Amino acid sequence: MTTLNLSPDFNPFPSASTSIHADSFVFSGGEVHVKLSANVAKVFISIRLNSSNDIMKLLLAVDALRRSGTKSISVVIPYLPYARQDRVMVDGEPLSIKVMCDLINGCGFDQVMVFDVHSEVSLALLNNCKLINNHDLVKQVLKEKVDYLLVSPDAGALKKIYKVAEALGYTDDIVLCNKVRDVSNGRIKKLTVDHDDLEGKDCFIIDDICDGGATFIGVAKELKARNAGRVSLIVSHGIMSKGEEELSQYIDQIYTTDSIKDTSSSLISRIQLSNLIEY
């Protein structure tokens, strides 16, 4: 396998036989430049799309490969940006995920691998898409755990958690939380939990994205008020945009991947996607 890692700190292909070298920088005017040393027929690209510059880097790299004669190109995009913007809520808004998918589709990839994408709308819009689910991540975290409870932080996550439970052979209760938002500002007004007494059991909240973490902090508070033991979070994409300080006050441990970044700490354990992806 010949690979091209466009995010230097992210390598989901540790056993690849050949790797293409890429030089990339941004001109002072803000324009991205890419130069590759490649002349191969088939390439597998990996890149974290954490910024608009990263998106442009991917588009330019694909063009450079095509011009050098590469016929088959696939890509691993661990975190698909704009998947949370999968509908038009009010007049004047774009359908952002379609714009993102149109850019990716324009590259003509043989395969697009995405990890635990937020919205199924993305899967309908992406050509030649292969979804990597979160089952192996959850299995790796829970492989030595006993007598625990799975927690759905809201109704939207429940469908995925039922699939996780089936993959684990988990037969205990799934704790369902729900939230009511203020539609004027998006803030959470109320959180409910469908269990009154969690009997001191450790609880694992499972979801795809932790951005600021307000939902998980609220859920953790409610769980501990209902006699939960340790409260941990298993989340595929750990953005943690507001840092760890407040999260650490209510959540005992966070398990995530290197889909966004590599930073770990006493609170955050990051599992490499190279241990979860098969090619």
Phi (first) and psi of residue 79, to 5 degrees: -120, 115
Phi (first) and psi of residue 205, to 5 degrees: -80, 135
Number of neighbouring beta carbons within 10 Å of residue 8: 9
> What pLDDT, in 10s, does the model give residues 242-266?
999 999 999 999 999 999 999 999 9
Confidence (pTM)? 0.93
What is the C-alpha to C-alpha distance for residues 156 and 208, in angstroms, rounded to an integer?
11
Per-residue confidence (pLDDT) for residue 3, from 0 to 100: 93
> What pLDDT, in 10s, does the model give residues 158-175?
889 999 999 999 999 999
Rounded mean pLDDT, 273-279: 84
pLDDT surpasses 80 at 19: yes
Q: Which of 15, 1, 6, 7 is nearest to 274 (CA)?
A: 15
Q: Token digits for 101?
A: 């998918």
pLDDT surpasses 80 at 278: no
What is the C-alpha to C-alpha distance for residues 90 and 239, in angstroms, rounded to an integer?
27
Beta pairing, strands 268-271 & 253-257: parallel
DSSP structure string for 11-24: -S-TT-SEE--EEE
Q: Which of 261, 262, 260, 268 is nearest to 244 (CA)?
A: 268
Beta pairing, strands 72-77 & 42-46: parallel
pLDDT surpasses 70 at 81: yes
More confident residue, 119 or 39: 119
Confidence of residue 185 (pLDDT cuts 50, 70, 90): low
Per-residue confidence (pLDDT) for residue 9, from 0 to 100: 86
Secondary structure class of 264 (helix, strand, coil): coil
Total residues belonging to the chain:
279
What is the C-alpha to C-alpha distance for residues 138 and 232, in angstroms, rounded to an integer?
12
Is the separation of the CB atoms in 108 and 123 below 8 Å? no
